[in-house]
Amino acid sequence: MTDPTVPTDRAALARYVDHTLLKPEATAADVSALVTEGAALGVFSVCVSPTFVSHAVESAGGRLAVATVCGFPSGKHASEIKAAEAARSVLDGADEVDMVIDIGAAKAGGFDLVQEDIAAVRAAVPSDKILKVIIESAALTDTEIVAACRAAEAAGADFVKTSTGFHPSGGASVHAVELMAATVGGRLGIKASGGVRTLDDAQAMIAAGATRLGLSGTGAVLAGFDEGGADEAPAGTDGY
């Protein structure tokens, strides 16, 4: 039986997508091209590095939302630095901020510190802007995933997100998305990112509970509708 929550056409799936370009060598011209492509594909937003937020906002001209990252990709920044980075991105026009938690603190069981870190960034991101929390799920145990999601919720986040797409442990998995959705789904959004490269991948993540997808190869994923499915992973532009 077909899952009624899973988009079955290009336009519907595109609205789940943060069209992403986070590779270090990206240029302003690359960001302009990302925005143009994203608008043509009908995605929800583009996600760019903090230094490109103002350029992306100008290029988008209100056609789509602009997201950025904070403490990326390691999460090993003082909370004050993360908060300042997030505040600057909002000042530059970002609609959404995807922050990385301190993975080491989570692995050590310091979820009070994780919550405080998230809360510091939340204080810098106004309530009318979206804060997503990247927990790097592939590096965590199931118990740690649950605790990280609870810390994000307690700190006032709007979303939890699987991965940076740059960690050697890997990206999103159906299991992690299911666990995150079981923990905070319905109250927080769930973003799957990292390794979502085919139409089958994207639909599986949504069926598991994802309400947003981070994709770099968006066009190739959406082309799966024209091909009756996408079994071969297209090349992404970065860890996504």
Residue 239 lies in a domain: no
Residue 57 corresponds to which amino acid?
Answer: V
Strand-pair partners of 192: 213
* Cα atoms in the Cβ-side hemisphere of radius 13 Å centred on 238: 23
Tens-digit pLDDT profile for the chain (240 aa)? Answer: 457 789 999 999 999 999 999 999 999 999 999 999 999 999 999 999 999 999 999 999 999 999 999 999 999 999 999 999 999 999 999 999 999 999 999 999 999 999 999 999 999 999 999 999 999 999 999 999 999 999 999 999 999 999 999 999 999 999 999 999 999 999 999 999 999 999 999 999 999 999 999 999 999 999 999 986 544 444 454 667
Residue 191 lies in a domain: yes
Q: What's residue 144's pLDDT?
A: 99
Which two three-digit tokens encode residue 200?
């089958």
Residue 142 lies in a domain: yes
CATH of the domain at 212: 3.20.20.70
What count of other Cβ atoms lies within 10 Å of the Cβ of residue 88? 17
Residue 4 lies in a domain: no
Q: In angstroms, what CA-CA distances link 186 with 60, 180, 181?
A: 30, 11, 8
Residues tagged active-site = 98, 161, 191
Phi, psi of 215 (to 5 degrees): -130, 140
Residue 233 lies in a domain: no
Can you tell me the distance from the alpha carbon of 146 to that of 141, in angstroms, rounded to the nearest whole number?
A: 9
pTM for the predicted model, two decimal places = 0.94
Residue 25 lies in a domain: yes
The domain total for the chain is 1
What single string gives the DSSP state of each residue in the chain?
A: ---TTS--SHHHHHTTEEEEE--TT--HHHHHHHHHHHHHHT-SEEEE-GGGHHHHHHHHTTSSEEEEEESTTT--S-HHHHHHHHHHHHHTT-SEEEEEP-HHHHHTT-HHHHHHHHHHHHHHS-TTSEEEEE--GGGS-HHHHHHHHHHHHHTT-SEEE---S--TT----HHHHHHHHHHHBTTBEEEEESS--SHHHHHHHHHHT-SEEEESSHHHHHHHHHHTS--SPPPPSS--
- Establish whether the linkage from the previous residue to 73 is cis, with ω within 30° of 0: yes
Do 101 and 163 touch, CB atoms closer than 8 A? Answer: no
Q: Domain range holding 155?
A: 10-227
Residue 2 lies in a domain: no
Residue 234 lies in a domain: no
What count of other Cβ atoms lies within 10 Å of the Cβ of residue 229? 11
